[in-house]
């Protein structure tokens, strides 16, 4: 069973790998984290984390990177979603206040979410007054995936092809919950998306939004952004329907 100390080391590995894109060694953790233990002790704990399938060694270097299972434990153990900065909150308010109708706010929300997270953003909402129950959808930030090519490797093209299919996008958002939900790597039902993670949340009846990006993402920041944008969009819709 993973101890609190090992969880701290796992958190350090995830944070450092997300920031640097380089496998993380025990010395880097010892130098940057005030854990009060030696690099040798950290190496021993990393060996246990590797045995538990939470980290892996991508090549012969001493560094380790998180596995999908490691990211899952990291996300599940996040004690709190990282708050947005004052500047980020102000940017959301200012950007969405300029919207003049629902179509506009959905498009603006997708662009804003993609800009904040540097991932692909998707926003959907049922078309009001449409007897056929059709849904509006906006997607933004697909170019961000190209910038993550080193993470995604030869899976980039299948991911882009999947995103071109509206039915895939609708399915990705169909199971969104009222609280932020994260689907990581191999947890993705679509095999072409299993090098990615999805962060989603519902914000109204049959309405949801989310971001898609490589598994090496800032989960805390992405969850905060998704939650905040959903809150503002939901408020716009509620006030607009009064």
pLDDT at residue number 133:
63
Contacts of range 76-80, beta carbons closer than 8 Å, 24 or more positions apart: 77/7, 77/11, 78/219, 78/220, 78/223
Report whether 230 contacts 92 (CB < 8 A): no
The CATH number given to 86-240 is 3.30.450.40
pLDDT at residue number 129:
62
pTM of the prediction?
Answer: 0.88
- Of 132, 113, 138, nearest to 221 (Cα)? 113
pLDDT at residue number 201:
94
> Which tokens hold the place of 26?
């025990």
User: pLDDT tens digits for 146-165?
Assistant: 887 678 888 899 898 888 88
Residues 6+ apart with CB under 8 A from 90: none
Residues 6+ apart with CB under 8 A from 78: 219, 220, 223
Report whether 144 contacts 114 (CB < 8 A): yes
User: pLDDT tens digits for 12-26?
Assistant: 999 999 998 899 999
**DSSP conformational letter for 24:** B
pLDDT at residue number 218:
92
Q: Bridge-partner residues for 56, per DSSP?
A: 65
Q: Identify the three-state secondary structure at position 174.
A: helix
| Domain extents in the chain | 4-76, 86-240
CATH topology of domain 4-76: Arc Repressor Mutant, subunit A (1.10.10)
Give phi and psi for 56, each to the nearest 5: -145, 160
Profile the chain (242 residues) by mean pLDDT over runs of 10 residues. 84 93 91 86 94 90 90 86 77 78 86 93 78 78 84 87 84 85 93 94 87 94 91 76 50
4-76 and 86-240 share one fold? no
pLDDT at residue number 53:
95
Give phi and psi for 231, each to the nearest 5: -65, -45
Average pLDDT of the chain is 86
Helices (H), the chain: 4-20, 26-32, 39-51, 68-76, 86-97, 102-117, 142-147, 149-152, 156-164, 166-174, 219-240
């Amino acid at each position: 069973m993973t101890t609190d100390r090992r969880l701290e080391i796992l958190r350090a590995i995830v944070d450092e790998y997300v920031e640097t894109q380089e496998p993380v060694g025990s010395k880097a953790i010892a130098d940057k984290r005030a854990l009060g233990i030696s690099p040798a002790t950290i190496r021993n704990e990393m060996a246990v984390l590797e045995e538990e399938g939470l980290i892996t060694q991508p090549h012969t270097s001493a560094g380790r990177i998180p596995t999908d299972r490691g990211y899952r434990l990291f996300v599940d153990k996040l004690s709190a979603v990282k708050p947005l900065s004052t500047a980020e909150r102000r940017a959301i308010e200012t950007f969405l206040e300029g919207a003049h109708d629902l179509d506009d706010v959905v498009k603006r929300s997708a662009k804003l979410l993609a800009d904040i997270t540097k991932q692909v953003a998707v926003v959907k909402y049922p078309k009001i007054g449409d007897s056929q129950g059709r849904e509006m959808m906006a997607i933004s930030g697909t170019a961000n995936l190209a910038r993550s090519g080193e993470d995604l490797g030869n899976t980039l093209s299948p991911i882009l092809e999947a995103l071109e299919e509206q039915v895939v996008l609708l399915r990705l958002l169909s199971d969104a919950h009222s609280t932020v939900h994260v689907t990581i790597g191999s947890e993705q039902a679509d095999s072409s998306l299993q090098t990615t993670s999805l962060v989603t949340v519902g914000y109204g009846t049959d309405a949801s939004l989310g971001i898609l990006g490589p598994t090496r993402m800032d989960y805390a920041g992405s969850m905060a952004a998704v939650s905040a944008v959903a809150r503002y969009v939901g408020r716009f819709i509620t006030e607009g329907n009064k």
